[in-house]
Structure 1
Amino acid sequence: MRRLAFVLLLGTCSAANAVPQLGSPLSDHVVLQRDKPIPVWGTASPKEAVTVTLGEASRSTKADAKGRWRVDLPAMQAGGPFVLTASSTSGSAKADDVLIGDVWLCSGQSNMEFPVRRALNGEGEAQAANDPQLRLIKIPQQLAETPQTALQKPAAWQAATPDSVSGFSAVCYFMVRDLRASQKVPIGAIDDSWGGTPIRAWMEEASVRASGGEELARLAASHRASPTTATRQFGEKWGAWWRSQTGDAVGSEPWISGAALKWEPVPSLAYWDSWGPEWTRHVGAIWAERTVTLTAAEAKQAAKLGLSAVDDLDQTFVNGIAVGGLNDPANPRSYPVPPGVLKAGDNRIVVYVRNAWGQGGLAGPSDKFFLTLADGTTKPLGSDWRYAKIADSVPGPPAAPWGSSSGVATIYNAMVAPLGPMHLTGVAWYQGEADVGQLGYDQRLAAWMANWRTQFGDPQLPFLIVGLAGWGPVSAKPTESGWSTLINEQRAAVQRDPRSALASAIDVGNPADIHPSDKQTVGRRLALAAKSLVYGSSNGRFGPMPLRAERRDGAVVITFSKPLQTLSGAGALAFELCDAAPNSCRYAAARTEGSSVVLQADSRAVTRVRYAWSDYPIVNLYDLDLLPAPVFELPVN
C-alpha cells in the first residue's frame, strides 16, 4: 500500500521523471492473465532504456520521445506470487504479490455497481469472504473528454476479505467466487461500473459514430471546439424532442412562454422529497422558473448562472435560449450565459428537472442559486422560484452528449482506455436501463464489443451480457414495452456474435425496484455462461435461445437451441401472436415439445410472435438447467 500513489498515478507525473513507473492498474496484488503474452507498460524518461522482469521472464525496451514504453512478456501458467519490476539506470518500480490467473472485467450501470452489502444476505455474504487468491479492484468513477493513458484517481488491488467485498459489485463478486471454486486458479475481478449511464459513454467516439450516433458524436466534438455553439445546437435538438412529445408549436414551449402552465411556488430549494408525501421518491419531471431584473448596463455583460445539483437531469434556458444541461445528480451546475442573451428588465430563467429514480429535484441549498455578471456583481436567486408539474406521459428527454456520465465516450476515456492493453479472460456486462426507448441498442452493443476487443487486443474476447431484469407494472393483456424492446435487442446482438452469451434475468426482477437484490442468481448464471463460452464445460451451449418461428400444420412452431420445460403448469405463459399492425398482439396457448414451443393459431393473421413482452412479465419457460428463455420477438416464416 505504501507504493500505491507512486505506482498508480501514472497520469499525474511527468515523463521527465527519472524513475520508471508501471502503468495503472499494474500494482501490488494484481492478477495478470494466464496463457497469453503479458503486456507491461508505463513511463520513464524519454528514450531511457527500461528492463521489465516477472519471475524468470525479462524483456528490455526503450521509452519513446514522450517517455512511454511497453514490453510483452511470454505467456505463463497460473501461479505465483511473483514480483513485477521495471528498472533503469535511474531507479525502479515494482508490484509485489503478483498472481497469474484469469482476469474478468465487470462493467455496466447501477445493477452492476450494486454492492454486495445491499444484496440478499449481503452482510453475511461479505463476512464469509476470505480468499487470498481472489483479487478485486474497483475503478473510481471519473470522466474525460479525450482518451487517457492512466487513471487520474488511484485504484488498489485487494484480496477478497469482508472489507474489500462489501462495497464491490455483487453480480461480479458472485460470478467470480463461483469461478474460483470451479476453475481452481487465481482470479482478478475489475469492477468498472457507474449507475445511470448509457452505453455511448462506455465506448470510444468513433464507435459511437459507427453505431448510429453520428449526430451525438458530432455534437460532442463541437462542444470541445465551442461549448456555447454546441449548447445552443443541442438546445435546438432538445426543443424538437419536446415538441414531438407534446405537440407544442414553435414559440409556445414552456421555456418561451409559460402562460399555459399552472405555476405554484416552490416549497423549498431542496430535493422535492421534502415537499410533501406525494413527492417522496417521485419519478417524473417539472419546470422551474424565476425572473431576475437587470439594468441595461448589466444586461450587456456575459454572466455565469449557478444552480445546485439537479437529480438527475436538467435542461436550462435563459430568455428562451439553451445555456446548459447535464445528466449529473451529484454536482452543482455552472452555466455560462454569453453576451446578447440577457436583456434590460426581466430575464426569465427556466429549468427542466427530471428524476429517474430515488430522491430527486433541485438539491439546494438556496445559496447555490445565483447569477454572476462579468464585472463580479452577483444576483442571488435563492428565492421566488415557481414550478409546474409535467405530465407523466412525457418520457425522459435526450441528455447532452458531453460533460457527464451520459456523454459520448466520457467514461471510456477515463475508466477503460487507461487499462491499456491488459489481457482479459472475458467481460461481464450489465447495462441497458439507460438506453430504454432508444432503438438500435443491438447496433450499439455490437460496436461496443468490437471497440473493447480492439482495446484489449483480443478479437475473440468473450462477452457475457445480462438481459435486463423485469421492472415495472404487471400487465394483464398484451402491451407495448420499451423494456422488452431493449432486451430483445440485447438478445439479437448476442445471437449474431458467436463469442458472447446472454444471461437472462427477466425472472429475478422486482416490479417496484429497478435494483433487485437477488444478485446471487445473476452471478451464478454469468458463471454458468462463462463455463459454457470460455471454459468449455457445457459443450458450448448456454441458455435456451429462440432460433426461428414457422407455420406448421395450422400452428406456429418456435424452435429453440435447447430442450425446454414449463414450471408450475402444462402450458407456457406469455406467448403472443401478432400481425404487422400495432396493438394486434394477443396471448396464445403454448405447449413445449422437446426443443420447440407450439402455439395454437387462431383465425387472425400472424406475421410475428413475441414472448414475455412486458415490463414485468410472468414466465415459466426454462431449459433443463433451469435457465429462463429470454424476451424475444421473431418473424413467422
Structure 2
Amino acid sequence: MSKWLPGALLAVLSTTSANAAPLLHDLFQDHVVLQREQAINVWGRAEPGESLTVTLASSSVQAKVDATGSWRASLPSMSAGGPYQLSVAAASGEKQVVDDVMIGDVWLCTGQSNMVLQVHRALDSRSEILNSTNDSIRMLTVPLANNPVPQYGFASPVKWLKASPQTVPEFSAVCLYFARELQKKDKVPMGLIAAAWGGSKIQSWMTAPALRSMGGYEGALDALALSSKDPIAANAQWASIWEGWWRERTKDRPGQEPWSAKPNGEWKPAPVERGYWEEWGVPELAKYDGMLWYRTNVTLTKSQAAQQATLALGRVDESDQVWINGRLVGAAGPGGEKSYPLPPKVLRAGENTVVVSVLDTYASGGLPGSMESRAIRFADGSNVVLNKEWRYQLPPANAAYPLRAPWEATAGLGVIHNGMIAPLSNLSLRGVVWYQGESNTDEGDQYQALLTRFMADWRTQFGASVPFFVVQLAGYGPASTEPTESGWAKTREAQRLAVKADPNAALAVAVDLGEYTDVHPANKQEVARRLARAARHVLYKDTAPPSGPVPASARREGDAVSVQFADVTGKLVAYSAARPIGFETCGAAAGTCEYAEATIQGQRVLLKSANSGTATRVRYCWADSPVCTLYDTAPLPAGPFQIEVK
C-alpha cells in the first residue's frame, strides 16, 4: 500500500501557496533519522513547475513541483548506517542541504501525559541524565497544535536533538528508554518522534473520516468543519447538539434548562472569590470531579449593549461552555485565560444572564482566576466586571460528564491529528508506541472499537503493516476493598482485546507499575523494557512471549472454576503469599462478583468462591487500582482480564 497521503487529504494540505525556501519539509533537519529497509519518502514545497533533484548518499531521483507548490519523492531503501547528506537542488539554482543524516529505525511515540512525561520527572532522573550521551538516539518533539483542518507543517520550528545530558531532560522518558532497550540487541540508529499531549482523548488523534465511519460523530464533525469558516454558525450548530443531549438526560423542558431565564432546581451561593470549588468548604464539592454550573447577572446600559464586546472568564479548570441570555457564545478546552467575542445582539440593555458550565476531570476545578479577570470588555475600552453574586448547581449524575466541543484540543474530534500528525503523514516508520487511555476511562465500553479503528486509521497514512505497541493503563486511585465496577478496568480490557485481535500489535502490561496517588507513575524504565520485549516479539520474531501470562480459557470443574494461562515464561508464581489474589467469579449481571480463593496448579489457577459453582465470568485485577500478585518467572505480571466460563 502506498504511504503517500490519500488524495483528498493531500489536496487539503496543499492548498497553501508555494514557499520557495526551504525546499524540504521542516521534518528534514540536520541529525534526522530515516527509516531503514523501506522506501525513503521525502517531500516539500517550491515554485510550481520547478524541477528538482533529490539526493541521499549515492542515490538521486527527480521530482516535479505540482501546481499547488507541493512535491514529493521516494528514494531507494537503505541499510542502517550514516552519517549521510540529503540535498534538494532546483533547476533554478536554489538548493537545500541536510547534514548528519542517519538511516535506522524511526518510532512515533504518541499519546497523553504519560508519554509526555520527561526524563527529569521520571525515576532515577539524575543518573539517567548524567549517563545519557548517545549519538545514535535522536528525538524530535512535535509542538502542541490543534486545528479543524489537516496541516502541512508544524505549528512552530522543530529540531532533531541527539541524546546528551543537555538535551535528554526534556525528552519523553518512555520513548527514550524504549529506544535504549532496543539498541541492546539491535544496534542501529534510533529516530524518535514524540507527538503527545497531556489529557488527550483518542478521538482527537483520529482523522475525521475515521470518526465518521464509526457513526455517532457526524453532527459534531459538521460543526467542527464549519468552525473554521463561520464560528458563530458553528456555535449555534454545536448548541443544538449539546442542548439536545442535556434535555435527553435531564428531561428538562425548553425554558427550564440551567442556561435559561427560569431554570429548574436550587442555585446555591458560589463563593467564587475562594477559587477552586474544592476550597469553598462545601462537603459535596470537596472531592468532586465532573461538571458544575455557575450563574450570575450583569446590568448593562443601552450604549454598552449596542457595542461589540468580548466576555472574559479568566482561568478555567478545565473546560467550559458559556451562555449569555440563553445563547451559547463559546466553548473551549483546557489552557490559558478564556475569552469569547460575542455575537451581535446577544447583549441587551438592563439585566443579562451569564451561565458557565465548567468540567473538571482531575484534581481541582472551577474558576480560579481573580474576580477582575471575569468581565465583559467593550470596543470603547471600558469593561464591566462580573463581581456580583454567583450561584452554582450540580448536574444530575447521568449528566456530570457532558459532551465536549469538537474543537477542544484534548477532547475534540481529530484536531490534534490535524495539527501534529498530518504533517508527518508521508513518513516511513518502524512502528508506533501508543500510551493513552486515562482520558477515555469514562468510555470503556467504546474504547475497543475506538482503538481498533485508530490503528487502522493511522495505517492508511503510515503503511498497512505498521505495528502498534500499546501500554495498558497503570493502576491509579485507592485500592478496592470489595469487587467493584471500574471504568479503568473496562478500558484496560478494551486495550487487551483490541491488541489481541491485531496480529501486528502487542501490549505492555503496566497495572503493577501504578502509583495510587499519582496518575503519572515514575518507573518509565520498566514500561520501556516491556514495550521493547513486545517489539522484539512482533518485529524481530523473538520467541519469548510479548508480555506476561494471558488467559487462554476458563472452565467449570465441579463447584470450582479453572483458568488456564498461556504465554507463561517458566511457571506461575504468587508474590508475597502462598496464593495469588485479585481473582473474582461473577454472574452475568453487574454487581454479582465475589472474591475467589485461588490456587496455582501448574499453568492454571483454580478458583473457589461462594458463587463459583454458577459463575459465568472470571475477572482478574478488575479495579481502578487493583492489587494483583500473579506473575511468571520472567518476571512479568498476568495482566487484567475478563473471560467467560465455558
Query: Fold conserved (TM > 0.5)?
Result: yes
Distance 2:237 2:15 in 1: 37
1:63-104 per-residue CA deviation (whole Å, 9 max, x = no partner) reads 111121111111111110001001112311111100011111
Q: Which residue of 2 aligns with 1:223?
A: 227
Which letter maps to 1:594? G
1:288-321 per-residue CA deviation (whole Å, 9 max, x = no partner) reads 3321113456546664322213121112122233
Q: Which residue of 2 aligns with 1:36?
A: 38
1:495-535 per-residue CA deviation (whole Å, 9 max, x = no partner) reads 11111111111111111111111211111111111111122
1:431 offset after TM fit, Å? 0.5
Q: TM-score, normalised by structure 2?
A: 0.89
Q: Which residue of 2 aligns with 1:514?
A: 519
Which letter maps to 2:582? A
Q: In the superposition, relative to structure 1, how do residues 593 and 246 fare at CA in structure 2: closer, same or farther (>3 Å)? A: farther
> Aligned match of 1:122 in 125, 140, 158?
125
Instruction: Determine if contact 1:15/1:46 at 8 Å carries over to the other structure.
Output: no
- What is the total number of aligned residue pairs between the two structures? 623
Instruction: Determine if contact 1:38/1:74 at 8 Å carries over to the other structure.
Output: yes
Instruction: Determine if contact 1:37/1:72 at 8 Å carries over to the other structure.
Output: yes
> Aligned match of 1:595 in 573, 598, 603?
603
> Aligned match of 2:297 in 269, 278, 291?
291
Distance 2:190 2:115 in 1: 18
> Aligned match of 1:584 in 570, 592, 599?
592
Any stretches of 5+ residues in structure 2 without a counterpart?
Answer: 1-12
> Aligned match of 1:306 in 312, 336, 351?
312
1:345 offset after TM fit, Å? 2.2
Map 1:170-569; keep pairs closer than 5 Å. 170-215=173-218, 216-224=220-228, 226-239=230-243, 242=246, 251-256=255-260, 257=263, 260-267=266-273, 283=289, 285-296=291-302, 298-299=304-305, 303-328=309-334, 330-372=335-377, 376=380, 378-388=382-392, 390=394, 395-438=400-443, 439-456=445-462, 458-539=463-544, 541-563=546-568, 564-569=572-577
Distance 1:613 1:245 in 2: 29
Instruction: Determine if contact 1:427/1:462 at 8 Å carries over to the other structure.
Output: yes
Report SS of the residue matched to 2:442.
Answer: coil
Report SS of the residue matched to 1:22.
Answer: coil
Q: In the superposition, relative to structure 1, how do residues 494 and 327 fare at CA in structure 2: closer, same or farther (>3 Å)? A: same
Q: In the superposition, relative to structure 1, how do residues 437 and 16 fare at CA in structure 2: closer, same or farther (>3 Å)? A: closer
- Which shifted more, 401-410 or 255-264? 255-264
1:539 offset after TM fit, Å? 4.8
1:230 offset after TM fit, Å? 3.5
Distance 1:281 1:86 in 2: 58
1:445 offset after TM fit, Å? 0.7
Map 1:4-23; keep pairs closer than 5 Å. 16-19=18-21, 21-23=23-25
Please tell me the root mean square deviation across aligned C-alpha atoms, in Å.
2.8
Report SS of the residue matched to 1:550.
Answer: strand
Distance 1:463 1:476 in 2: 35
Report SS of the residue matched to 2:352.
Answer: strand
Q: Which residue of 2 aligns with 1:5?
A: none
Which letter maps to 2:385? L
1:401-448 per-residue CA deviation (whole Å, 9 max, x = no partner) reads 114232111110111110131111111111011111123111111111
Report SS of the residue matched to 1:350.
Answer: strand
Q: In the superposition, relative to structure 1, how do residues 20 and 162 fare at CA in structure 2: closer, same or farther (>3 Å)? A: closer
Distance 2:288 2:589 in 1: 35
Distance 1:320 1:167 in 2: 45
Q: In the superposition, relative to structure 1, how do residues 45 and 521 fare at CA in structure 2: closer, same or farther (>3 Å)? A: same
Q: Which residue of 2 aligns with 1:100?
A: 103
Which letter maps to 1:128? N
Instruction: Determine if contact 1:481/1:614 at 8 Å carries over to the other structure.
Output: yes
Report SS of the residue matched to 2:184.
Answer: helix
Q: In the superposition, relative to structure 1, how do residues 385 and 510 fare at CA in structure 2: closer, same or farther (>3 Å)? A: farther
1:359 offset after TM fit, Å? 4.9
Which letter maps to 2:332? L
Distance 1:130 1:277 in 2: 52
Distance 1:196 1:224 in 2: 24
Q: In the superposition, relative to structure 1, how do residues 120 and 541 fare at CA in structure 2: closer, same or farther (>3 Å)? A: closer
Percent sequence identity over aligned pairs: 41
Report SS of the residue matched to 1:325.
Answer: strand
Q: In the superposition, relative to structure 1, how do residues 213 and 99 fare at CA in structure 2: closer, same or farther (>3 Å)? A: farther
Q: Which residue of 1 aligns with 2:624?
A: 615
Instruction: Determine if contact 2:535/2:546 at 8 Å carries over to the other structure.
Output: no
Report SS of the residue matched to 1:361.
Answer: coil
Any stretches of 5+ residues in structure 1 without a counterpart?
Answer: 1-10
Which letter maps to 1:79? G
Report SS of the residue matched to 1:21.
Answer: coil
- Which shifted more, 250-259 or 150-159? 250-259
1:13 offset after TM fit, Å? 12
Report SS of the residue matched to 1:613.
Answer: coil
Q: In the superposition, relative to structure 1, how do residues 414 and 555 fare at CA in structure 2: closer, same or farther (>3 Å)? A: same
Which letter maps to 2:132? A
Q: TM-score, normalised by structure 1?
A: 0.91
Distance 2:35 2:278 in 1: 47
- Which shifted more, 442-451 or 333-342? 333-342
Distance 1:258 1:88 in 2: 69
Distance 2:498 2:519 in 1: 23
1:599 offset after TM fit, Å? 2.0
Q: In the superposition, relative to structure 1, how do residues 173 and 17 fare at CA in structure 2: closer, same or farther (>3 Å)? A: closer
1:602 offset after TM fit, Å? 4.3
Which letter maps to 2:195? D
Which letter maps to 1:471? Y
Q: In the superposition, relative to structure 1, how do residues 312 and 18 fare at CA in structure 2: closer, same or farther (>3 Å)? A: closer
- Which shifted more, 346-355 or 548-557? 548-557
Distance 2:21 2:230 in 1: 39
